[in-house]
Chains A and B, each alone.
Chain A
Amino acid sequence: MKILKTPLDPEKVKELRVNEPFKVTGRIFTARDAAHEKLLGMAEEGREPPFDPSLYPCFHCGPVMKEANSGWEVVSAGPTTSIRMEIFEPDFMEEFGTKIFIGKGGMGEKTSTALEKHGGVYAQFTGGAGSLMAGSVEEVIDVYFLEELGVPEAVWLLEVVEFGPLLVTMDSTGKSIHRDISEEVDLNLARELETL
């Protein structure tokens, strides 16, 4: 299975195609609704983000964390439903140059168009597989906005080794298996309804 290393090489991201599985080694950052709003809000006020979001994949995730003497540990960290971030990602890509978004459930046409424009991909990690993801985390590098947003909504910068399998479901050519499957499901639905 292909392993992508961070900082990401934009050319390698651009080459990823739908249905291709891969893993990530290096750094990723988590961001859910509140974190997207926070980072975009900062940009609007002309303030720099506390890390460079163009270098690492953005993981739609609100983890379970544990604070031990040695620092923070990830307990369980599966993906959250990505479609909630549909209202943010085109601006997020425009503003920060983030190239890979990882989540579950797929995203819509606005994100698909933006991925095509910026040479990015959306990849799906199996929903619910939080303990599996946690096992790939080597180190919690940093956390941002913890006080303000709380544990699940804060931005966690994580060092991971072979995080995955991730499945490319939307690529930089504008293809989306969510769109394809949705069309197929509609046809199947029509057939089932006819035979009721």
Chain B
Amino acid sequence: MNPDELAQDLVEPIKKAVTTLPGPTLSALQKAKKREGKAASVQFDAMLESVEIGERDGVPICQDTGTPTFYVKVGADYPGINELDSVKLGLKKAVQRATKEVPIRPNTVHPFSGKNPGDNTGKSIPWINWSLVEGVDLELTYLPKGGGSTNMSQLTMMTPGRGIKGVKEIVLKRVASMEGKPCPPTILGVGIGGSASISMELAKESLLRPVGKRHEESRVAELEEELKERANNLGVGPMGVGGETTVLDVKIEYDYRHPASFPVGITPQCWANRRVSLKLTPSGEVREVGE
């Protein structure tokens, strides 16, 4: 694995990630627009027009392309498994190149000095979430999630006795209190269980599932559906101007919790639900994985 070659292969996909929207998100926006009154539909018009211009002119739909983050699933039988250092370096170089060539906004700032290196890197940024899976491929997703939606994230260490009803209360209260700030209609990521940090990671990972696709377990899927309906009854509307669509979807992931803890992590994703997923095959081919 040559890091420069990987970077070369990734610049175009990163550009695609920031200049287009995945099909399921786009059709959810188009469908939602039809239900709305005047002020809300003006918001949808601007969103849809911005998506059109982004794709047509090859420019970022939104100026905020987030803190560069990758999800990398390494197949246990991926032939390059001994060269993951090169993959890591390749991802960093890809982000540096894309920052200049797309261009995307340099978003990394040193928390002490306030200095911005100007290339979207820093210490461990781009952040890479590694996981080991079965298979022979390496799959990676680039998730340019903006700061405005991320700022609305919340961790609650809930009293376990409140149970799933408590989870519903926490989620709905959060949607109400966020109002227009996370750029609704959002896709709400909810992580239940695990530990404090695990629930937040689950919340963010849940966002990788395409809009409209339900969790494979029926009781989780039902909870997603119920929360989606109830969140949309709150009337926040697109960009908080009031309306029928506050969330495009709710995604839930869970894991086992400690008996004394019931963490509930929430992170909303703005309507500009951008990402790109790729597969690196054993023969070295790079293939895009559609939603």
Is the CB–CB distance between B241 and A181 below 8 Å? yes
Shortest CB-to-CB span from A78 to chain B, Å, is: 5
Picked from A66, A151, A188, the residue with its CB within 8 Å of the CB of B233 is A188
CB-based nearest B residue for A177: B241
Interface band, chain A: 35 or more
Picked from A21, A83, A124, A126, the residue with its CB within 8 Å of the CB of B47 is A126
Is the CB–CB distance between A76 and B181 below 8 Å? no
B183 neighbours in A (Cβ, 8 Å): 104-105, 127-128
* Contact flag A64-B172 (CB < 8 Å), given A126-B43, A167-B39: no
Is the CB–CB distance between A131 and B54 below 8 Å? yes
Report if B105 contacts A (CB, 8 A).
yes
Majority SS of interface residues in chain B? loop
Q: In residues 8-43 of chain A, which contact B (Cβ within 8 Å)?
A: 19, 21
Is the CB–CB distance between A83 and B43 below 8 Å? no
A83 neighbours in B (Cβ, 8 Å): 181
Shortest CB-to-CB span from A18 to chain B, Å, is: 10
Report if A98 contacts B (CB, 8 A).
no
Q: In residues 84-134 of chain A, which contact B (Cβ within 8 Å)?
A: 104-106, 124-132, 134
Q: Which of B58-66, B86-94, B259-267 contacts A (4 or more CB under 8 A)?
A: B58-66
Picked from B54, B168, B234, the residue with its CB within 8 Å of the CB of A188 is B234
Between A and B, 14 residue pairs with Cβ closer than 8 Å are A63-B105, A64-B63, A75-B103, A76-B63, A78-B64, A81-B151, A104-B183, A105-B239, A126-B42, A135-B57, A150-B118, A152-B105, A167-B43, A181-B240
B142 neighbours in A (Cβ, 8 Å): none
How many angstroms between the C-alpha atoms of A19 and B243 in the bound complex? 13
Which of A63, A66, A75, A129 is packed against the most chain B CB atoms within 10 Å? A129
Which of A104, A130, A193 is packed against the most chain B CB atoms within 10 Å? A130
A130 neighbours in B (Cβ, 8 Å): 50, 59-64
Q: In residues 124-183 of chain A, which contact B (Cβ within 8 Å)?
A: 124-132, 134-135, 150-152, 165, 167, 169, 177-178, 181-182
How many angstroms between the C-alpha atoms of A114 and B180 in the bound complex? 21
By the criterion of a CB under 8 Å from any partner CB, how many residues of chain B are at the interface? 52
Q: In residues 231-275 of chain B, which contact A (Cβ within 8 Å)?
A: 233-242, 270-272
Shortest CB-to-CB span from A111 to chain B, Å, is: 15
Is the CB–CB distance between B42 and A131 below 8 Å? no
Picked from A19, A81, A129, the residue with its CB within 8 Å of the CB of B49 is A129
Report if B137 contacts A (CB, 8 A).
no
Majority SS of interface residues in chain A? mixed
User: B161-174: contact bitstring with A at CB < 8 Å (1 yes, 0 no)?
Assistant: 00001001100110
Is the CB–CB distance between A132 and B236 below 8 Å? no
Report if B74 contacts A (CB, 8 A).
no
A152 neighbours in B (Cβ, 8 Å): 63, 105-107
Q: In residues 177-200 of chain B, which contact A (Cβ within 8 Å)?
A: 179-181, 183
CB-based nearest B residue for A153: B116
* Contact flag A129-B47 (CB < 8 Å), given A75-B59, A75-B60, A193-B169: yes
Q: In residues 131-157 of chain B, which contact A (Cβ within 8 Å)?
A: 146, 148, 151
How many angstroms between the C-alpha atoms of A140 and B226 in the bound complex? 48
If A81-B181, A124-B180, A193-B172 are given as contacts, then 8 extra A-B residue pairs at C-beta distance below 8 Å, sorted by A number, are A63-B63, A64-B104, A104-B239, A129-B62, A131-B60, A169-B241, A181-B179, A191-B233
